[in-house]
């Protein structure tokens, strides 16, 4: 039993393999948080609560003369605005009479095996054996507002998920102004580092680590999607935590729209963490009987450092977020024509790229942007999802048949959520996009955003995408999104409901994706938003892989993929070899290095295969064979970050160990060549101490203990950005 309730003390305890979470229905029915951290069994942690009379901290009416009970400093399980807790709140709402008061006290609870779905939202899932759930219902006795706090425990993965449901059980309309999914208080503790993942287009998920301080620190997006600029995954950890040591708490938001993740240190050095949908631009009306469901936050605990935390997230997302055939089935090595041709292609050109690629073991051609409507640049065509037969003479099916005849699968690009002004769709339905009727909307990449909250918009997209899928044997869709939201206004909603549009947009997107993915189980979906601008656990529920970045430079990718690996599995990171000089940075790197970096992800190529020399093609053939050989080790083995690319100037290294422990793949990239260099020695991780490992293709044999404690010596490396891949095999 992962979840326990003690009737006399009214204490709820949740245990995972290595962690404990405890809360209590305290005085006057308030739900107080007691503890979240390393496993503690057989102990009530109520002794941690401190009751003091603190100045300027009010006391709830029921406490009357008891000046030591105040919501201003007691640890709350779900804090509300307006009743004397001045810290960052979880819930803020306006009652029918215009007041902001909400007083939530315990009403009931339910514990059950398994996990229920969150209506209309992506969320983790599991069988009755894998997960146990708890619902605690709080209520406001005056207004009859009810709040369900939803918890699910994946014991083996040290994971507890949280979300919230608000129900209006009163007789008047209420307005939700903020509904956060997770609110977590750490009593008597503020010695954390906050790790966040910031970036920009073509440089996503750069790692930033800062000690927290009094006051608030937030990362957020109000761009309508999770964004390149900040990621909805953050970590709170010991200030000396590293890959192998220290307490770490991860928070991954299963949502693809606006978000906010705030950490606050209060006046008596306690820490509060709050995560959920951003309250800016958010306002949701609930009529009597209506409910609002907030998306899920997946919390993972590790007391063995960041490496263990990440590996649990990798399994959690692979096993309990990703769905369908491609959760486990081997995904094809692909070639995408974008950087090879951009908009300038014909069916003949694509077929010849496919033909060349097929001889090298590549398994799928992806036709990127430019195949539909009138689309020879990014000024026109979006929305017109009809094949351009001037470019693809003979139609889509002829091209796909030819590609299939080379033994290659066929994939296709869409950007369904967008429309160009210069398109038939816009000319017919100018009112289908998000735009205030009284103004001209902002353009970005010369496109507008379709109002995904509207059924008729989604129906059009569903019908067009389905028709294209029926036209030919299409086995993959790249789902792109190339601008952020502005002028967020839907003509389908009344004035007082415009604060719902950001969220309804995301719900509409999920609804369309749900229909398309369930009706086309044989089609592999890859998420994309100008690279990794919508790289989150919400999108991974529909597409098990996401194009990690529009930056294909392997040296920049070292940091992008390193940062992404903290919260997301290797199998989720789309990663391709492209041409040199690199189109984004102009950097020149060896083909081998481009291959080594790209194969630490869902591997592919993004260049004009017709332009490669015979020698290069031979090398590509070897890369593809290598990737296929180590596919399971890379995608489903354990991943170890051996260096930190921000502090290791000379080289970057990372390692994979297969699930059965028999295969190990160590990757090095030299980032700064040096004459008369110090020895490169790297301590491996995750091996069996007393077993022996042989370096593949040599007679070199080492014990696991030697490789992990004395380290592996890399022979001297020269040259710009050289890479080495070392395969080790269990020897005895």
| Active-site annotation, residues | 536, 616
**Nearest distance from residue 647's CB to ligand DGJ, in Å?**
30
- Nearer to ligand DGJ by Cβ, of 224 and 307: the residue is 224
Angle 495-277-134 from CA coordinates, rounded to 5°: 120
Spatial contact of 324 and 517, defined as CB atoms under 8 Å apart = yes
SS3 assignment, position 341: helix
Q: Which stretch binds ligand DGJ (CB under 6 A): 8-16, 45-53, 104-112, 523-531?
A: 523-531
C-alpha–C-alpha distance, residues 414 and 371, integer Å: 10
Contact status: 536 vs ligand DGJ (CB under 6 A): no
Q: Which stretch binds ligand DGJ (CB under 6 A): 67-75, 311-319, 512-520, 528-536?
A: 528-536
Please, which of residues 448-487 interact with ligand DGJ by CB under 6 A? 480, 482
Torsions phi, psi for 566 (to 5 deg)? -65, -35
Please, which of residues 355-374 interact with ligand DGJ by CB under 6 A? 368-369
Residue 465 exposure: Cα atoms within 13 Å on the Cβ side: 27
Q: Which of 93, 150, 364, 528 is in the footprint of ligand DGJ by CB under 6 A?
A: 528
**Nearest distance from residue 458's CB to ligand DGJ, in Å?**
22
For the residues of 355-388, what is the DSSP string, one character each? HHHHTTT--EEEE-S-SBSS-SSTTB-TT--SB-
* Maximum distance among all Cα pairs of the chain, rounded to whole angstroms: 86
Please, which of residues 43-82 interact with ligand DGJ by CB under 6 A? none
Which residues, in sequence order, are bridge partners of residue 220?
A: 260
Contact status: 126 vs ligand DGJ (CB under 6 A): no
- Nearer to ligand DGJ by Cβ, of 88 and 369: the residue is 369
Please, which of residues 323-342 interact with ligand DGJ by CB under 6 A? 338
Sign of CA dihedral 64, 70, 76, 82: positive
C-alpha–C-alpha distance, residues 687 and 685, integer Å: 6
Q: Which of 530, 604, 645, 704 is in the footprint of ligand DGJ by CB under 6 A?
A: 530
Spatial contact of 167 and 145, defined as CB atoms under 8 Å apart = yes
Spatial contact of 296 and 133, defined as CB atoms under 8 Å apart = no
Please, which of residues 394-413 interact with ligand DGJ by CB under 6 A? 413
**Nearest distance from residue 413's CB to ligand DGJ, in Å?**
6
**Nearest distance from residue 587's CB to ligand DGJ, in Å?**
18
Closest residue by Cα to residue 529 from 583, 479, 462, 477: 479
Instruction: Give the interface size with ligand DGJ as a residue count (CB under 6 A).
Output: 11
Torsions phi, psi for 452 (to 5 deg)? -70, -10
**Nearest distance from residue 302's CB to ligand DGJ, in Å?**
32
For the residues of 254-318, what is the DSSP string, one character each? --SS-EEEEEEE-TTS-EEEEEES-STT--EEE-TT-EEEEEEEEEEEESBHHHHHHHHHHHHHH
Q: Give CA 195 to chain center in angstroms.
A: 15
For the residues of 651-663, what is the DSSP string, one character each? EEEEEEE-TTS-E
- Nearer to ligand DGJ by Cβ, of 449 and 687: the residue is 449
**Nearest distance from residue 339's CB to ligand DGJ, in Å?**
8
Q: Which of 122, 531, 554, 601 is in the footprint of ligand DGJ by CB under 6 A?
A: 531
Q: Which stretch binds ligand DGJ (CB under 6 A): 22-30, 130-138, 139-147, 524-532?
A: 524-532
**Nearest distance from residue 421's CB to ligand DGJ, in Å?**
17
- Nearer to ligand DGJ by Cβ, of 273 and 547: the residue is 547
The residue with its CB nearest to ligand DGJ is 369
- Nearer to ligand DGJ by Cβ, of 366 and 728: the residue is 366
Spatial contact of 49 and 41, defined as CB atoms under 8 Å apart = no
Q: Is 660 exposed, middle or buried (0-12, 13-18, 19+ CB in 10 A)?
A: exposed
Contact status: 526 vs ligand DGJ (CB under 6 A): no
C-alpha–C-alpha distance, residues 614 and 721, integer Å: 23
Site string for ligand DGJ, 543-582 (x = CB under 6 A): ----x--x--------------------------------
- Nearer to ligand DGJ by Cβ, of 57 and 582: the residue is 582
- Nearer to ligand DGJ by Cβ, of 602 and 658: the residue is 602
- Nearer to ligand DGJ by Cβ, of 303 and 550: the residue is 550
Residue ranges binding ligand DGJ (CB under 6 A): 338, 368-369, 413, 480, 482, 528, 530-531, 547, 550
């Amino acid at each position: 039993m992962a979840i326990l309730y003690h009737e006399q003390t009214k204490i709820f305890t949740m245990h995972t393999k290595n962690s404990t979470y405890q809360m209590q229905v305290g005085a006057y029915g308030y739900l107080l948080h007691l503890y979240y951290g390393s496993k503690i069994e057989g102990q009530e942690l109520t002794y941690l609560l401190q009751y003091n009379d603190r100045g300027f901290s009010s006391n709830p009416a029921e406490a009357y003369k008891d000046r030591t009970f105040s919501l201003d400093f007691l640890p709350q399980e779900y804090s509300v605005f307006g009743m004397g807790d001045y810290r960052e709140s979880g819930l803020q709402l306006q009652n029918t009479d215009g007041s902001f008061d909400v007083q939530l006290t315990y009403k009931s609870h339910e514990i059950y095996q398994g996990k229920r779905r969150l209506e209309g939202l992506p969320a983790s899932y599991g069988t009755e054996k894998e997960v146990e759930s708890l619902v605690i219902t709080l209520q406001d006795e005056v207004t009859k507002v009810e709040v369900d706090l939803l918890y699910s425990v994946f014991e083996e993965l040290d994971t507890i998920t949280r979300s919230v449901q608000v129900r209006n059980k009163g007789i008047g309309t209420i307005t939700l102004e903020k509904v956060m999914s997770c609110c977590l208080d750490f009593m008597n503790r503020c010695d954390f580092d906050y790790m966040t993942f910031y970036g920009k287009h073509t440089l996503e998920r750069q790692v930033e680590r800062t000690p927290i301080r009094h006051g608030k620190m937030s990362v957020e997006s109000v761009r309508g999607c999770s964004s390149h600029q900040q990621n909805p995954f953050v970590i709170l950890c010991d200030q000396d935590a590293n890959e192998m040591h220290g307490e770490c708490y991860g928070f991954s938001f299963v949502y693809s729209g606006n978000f906010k993740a705030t950490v606050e240190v209060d006046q008596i050095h306690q820490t509060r963490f709050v995560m959920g949908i951003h309250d800016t631009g958010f306002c949701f009306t609930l009529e009597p009987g209506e409910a609002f469901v907030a998306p899920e936050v997946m919390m993972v605990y590790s007391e063995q450092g960041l490496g263990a935390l990440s590996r649990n997230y990798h399994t959690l997302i692979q096993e309990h977020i990703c769905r369908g055939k491609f959760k486990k089935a081997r995904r094809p090595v692909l070639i995408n024509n974008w950087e090879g041709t951009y908009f300038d292609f014909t069916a003949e050109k694509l077929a010849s790229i496919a033909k060349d690629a097929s001889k090298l073991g590549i398994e799928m051609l992806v036709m990127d942007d430019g195949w539909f409507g009138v689309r020879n640049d990014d000024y026109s065509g979006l929305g017109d999802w009809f094949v351009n037969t001037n470019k693809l003479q003979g139609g889509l099916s002829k091209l796909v048949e030819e590609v299939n005849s080379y033994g290659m699968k066929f994939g296709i690009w869409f950007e369904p959520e967008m429309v160009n002004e210069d398109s038939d769709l816009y000319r017919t339905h100018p009112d289908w996009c998000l735009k205030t009727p009284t103004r001209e909307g902002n353009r970005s990449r010369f496109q507008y955003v379709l109002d995904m909250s509207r059924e008729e918009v989604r129906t059009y997209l569903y019908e067009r995408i389905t028709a294209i899928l029926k036209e030919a044997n299409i086995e993959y869709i790249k789902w792109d999104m190339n601008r952020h939201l502005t002028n967020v206004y839907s003509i389908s909603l009344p004035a007082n409901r415009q604060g719902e549009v950001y969220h309804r947009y995301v719900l509409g997107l999920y609804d369309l994706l749900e229909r398309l993915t369930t009706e086309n189980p044989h089609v592999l979906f890859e998420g994309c938003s100008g690279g990794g601008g919508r790289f989150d656990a919400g999108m991974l529920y529909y597409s098990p892989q996401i194009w990690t970045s529009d930056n294909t430079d392997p040296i920049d990718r070292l940091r992008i993929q390193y940062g992404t690996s903290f919260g997301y599995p290797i199998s989720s990171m789309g990663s391709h070899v492209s041409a040199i000089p690199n189109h984004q940075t102009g950097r020149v790197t060896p083909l081998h290095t481009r291959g080594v970096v790209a194969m630490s992800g869902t591997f592919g190529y993004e260049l004009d295969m017709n332009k490669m020399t015979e020698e290069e093609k031979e090398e590509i053939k070897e890369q593809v064979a290598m990737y296929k050989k180590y596919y399971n080790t890379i995608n489903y083995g354990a991943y170890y970050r051996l260096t930190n690319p921000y502090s290791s100037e000379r080289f970057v290294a990372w390692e994979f160990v297969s699930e059965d422990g028999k295969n190990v793949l160590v990757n090095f990239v030299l980032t700064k060549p040096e004459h008369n260099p110090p020895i490169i020695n790297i301590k491996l991780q995750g091996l069996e101490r007393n077993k022996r490992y042989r370096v593949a293709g040599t007679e070199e044999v080492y014990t696991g203990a030697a490789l992990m404690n004395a380290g592996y010596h890399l022979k001297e490396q020269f040259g710009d950005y050289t890479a080495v891949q070392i395969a080790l095999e269990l020897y005895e």
